[in-house]
Amino acid sequence: MAPDLRVDDAAAPRLDIGTGYLAAPHTGRFFGSTFVTTYELRRGLTARDEEYLRQAIDESRKCVPSATSYRVGAVVVTRSGACFAGHTHETSPTHHAEQEAVKKALAAGAELRGAAMYSSMEPCSQRSSEPESCSAMMLRLGFARAVFAAYEPDCFVQCRGALDLRLGGVEVRAVPAMAGEVLRINSHLRGE
């Protein structure tokens, strides 16, 4: 598990220009009365990461638009390189994309400890239709990385999946350059 760091701790990451962080925040949201600003870390994203994330976004296009859920795609990549893709409601009207991809990986006997999850949207932190959120499932199964394009909009809940994963020791990378496409795929929820 990653150590807890305070802003005033000398070991805490700094947002100085040239350290790999964006100079300006790319997103922010309220958690209760506290506004949290999120910065994107530029280091650590490879061409393969972008390829798997593109595959997850393409997978999301297979979802049937619904007034009660996002169209999300996910790709699980194990440490051995095996890949498993899924999309929201692929086999069940209550399954999220991450669940669908994990279900396929487990059915194939894949080891998920240390695996990476590529998702078109931030893994959920709260569910009404299932007992376990996608971020909790990833922590339980020992995922090491999570890469996603768009933070979940506050349409249904105030998602804190990325934060929960980071606090659980998972390396989390958001790729806001690809978020616009994911939000367009989900424009049915904004009445467009």
User: Which residues form the catalytic set?
Assistant: 98
Distance CA 31, CA 37 (A): 11
Distance CA 66, CA 11 (A): 45
Distance CA 168, CA 181 (A): 28
Tokens standing for 133? 């959120």
Number of H helices, E strands in the chain: 5, 7
Tokens standing for 70? 């996002």
Distance CA 52, CA 60 (A): 13
